[in-house]
Amino acid sequence: MQTSEIGIRNTGGEIPRQPWRHPILLGAIFAAIYFGVARLSLELAFEQANTSAVWPASGLAIGGLLLFGVRFWPAIAVGVFALTLTIEPLSVGKALFFATGNTLEAVLGATLINRYAGGRRCLRYASTVFRFIIFAALLAPLVSAACATVGIAIFEDKTLGQLGEIFSTWYTGNMAGVLVFTPLVILWSTLRSPWSRAKRIEGLILFAVLILIGQTIGGLLITDWPCAYLAIPVLLWAAIRLGRRGTVAALIVLTIIAVFGNVRGFEVFPGDSPNLSLLYLQIFLSVVSMMSLVVAGLVSELRLANESLENKIAARTHRLEEMVREKDDLMAIAAHDLQAPLAGMRNLLQLVQSRPETLSSSASGRVLHEMETATDSMLALVSSLLVAKRAEELGMHLTVAPCDAAQLVRDMIRIHRPVAEAKRIDIILDAPEELLVSTHPESLAQIASNLLSNAVKYSPVGSQVDVRLRVSETMRTLSLEVHDEGPGIRPDELETVFQKFRRSKNQPTSGESSHGIGLYIVDKLCTALGGTIRYSDREGDGSSFTASVPFRP
């Protein structure tokens, strides 16, 4: 038995958790990575052993909380606390200040991004990129820098000027770390679309140019030329052509080369001390990072808007094509199904006109009966087309009213019984004596009428049509099942059985006309009522159609 249902069906299942994704193990790995990156950054601490102008750990922390959730904040606290104690084993109080500041920075940045900048999608649009910059890069590092400066002021003897330099160094290093390394964590852990071959070649050329420029910035090729600003066009190239992921990769390459060159003594922006020179470089890298991320966000936004527009155009084009096909089908059906009765009526009228005096009363009665039959056939086609149009628009004009569903089905059976009796078909109803529900009576009547018409039309002479009406009080669903003993639905027609103007290759058993609209009407009415229509097909042993619609008690 093959079953198909029009509607939405939800399936679910538990996805087994991978061992390495256990929260404790994941938190330990997170803390270890934070510790290692932070420990390496402190090698660039020139003025203060615990303060570096290069601090990628801040970006990794915010990125990690965006990926795994803010609940992983203890990993950051443990990493910072352990790092401080490895440098100054007896400075527990200072370690608490550092751990508190860095943890609050990450939590505040991740929380604000999740709330106001789209979470992990914060780099998708220019507007969310601006919010990311404001909340994560400019605001959150203030907390960390303030806590660290207060801790140092309490536990060390520093002048106000020294504390100001510590604050600016801490803040600038964390800001640059957030701008470069948070996007790295977000984008390279979530984006999965591979680059095309042409895009990969372009990326290789771009990074070759960037590395060449970076060598001049880092003092490895030309030591006397201030070439830092040459990187800006290349970063714009990456933002426009390679997208967000390529932009972040370019920023990482530029940052590593520029910092390495500065440490070697080639100061792109000379200062009174190595720390001040590195601070100036970090400010420059922060500015170009902001610029590149905003441009990449604008390009991403334009691409998404273009894709959305293309999808809408494609959907409307598809709909127009469907409408053209429906129009062609309608014209074909109208030409085919109206031609025969009209031709018959014309022949009968010609007969009457040619020999009016020779026609007996009985012959005149037969002529009038044939003309009435032809007229009924044409009216049935027009009525079906009007009902189909109404079914398509019903969702906007649905009015619920109380009715006796059982009596309504009995009325529809009474209407179709003469046609069934002419074919010696028994219609057996299994329904309660009374079934009071609140629904749309006209739609329910049309559903029952079309299902009965379809069953009688395709049932062989002397067969039986079973009609079953049931209600589920718990689900508040009314189900109407109509089963016939006809040829069933052909396997190649299962996907199109409810489509408009799709006539079955199986012919009605007594030469009745079929417009291919009845089941389409049933489907549209069930959808308008918030229900479903399904069929169980047993080829050669009839078809069972079950319409299920919600109701109000």
Domain layout of the chain by residue ranges: 19-190, 193-318, 395-550
What pLDDT score was predicted for residue 291? 93
Model confidence at 129, pLDDT cuts 50, 70, 90, reads very high
CA dist 314 and 91 (Å) reads: 65
- In tens, the pLDDT along 531-551 reads 888 887 655 577 888 999 888
- Amino acid code (one letter) for 529: L
The CATH class given to the 395-550 domain equals alpha beta
What pLDDT score was predicted for residue 542? 79
Q: Which residue has the higher pLDDT, 414 or 347?
A: 414
- If you count DSSP H runs as helices and E runs as strands, how many of each does the chain have, helices first? 15, 8
CA dist 83 and 98 (Å) reads: 10
* pLDDT (mean) for 101-126: 93
What pLDDT score was predicted for residue 221? 47
The three-point CA angle 62-66-67 to 5° equals 120
Neighbouring residues of 445: CB distance < 8 A, sequence distance ≥ 6: 408, 411, 412
The SS3 of residue 486 is coil
The three-point CA angle 37-266-281 to 5° equals 55
* pLDDT (mean) for 339-357: 61
CATH fold label, 19-190: Arp2/3 complex 21 kDa subunit ARPC3 (1.10.1760)
- In tens, the pLDDT along 485-519 reads 887 777 767 676 777 666 666 667 666 666 667 78
Model confidence at 228, pLDDT cuts 50, 70, 90, reads confident
Please check whether residue 551 is in contact with residue 439, taking contact to mean a CB–CB distance below 8 angstroms.
yes
Reference 59, options 186, 147, 165, 188; nearest CA is 186
DSSP string, 63-83: HHHHHH-GGGHHHHHHHHHHH
Model confidence at 65, pLDDT cuts 50, 70, 90, reads very high
CA dist 502 and 496 (Å) reads: 7
Lowest mean pLDDT, pick from 61-75, 346-360, 407-421: 346-360
For the chain, the helix, strand and coil percentages under 3-state DSSP, each to the nearest 5: 65, 10, 25
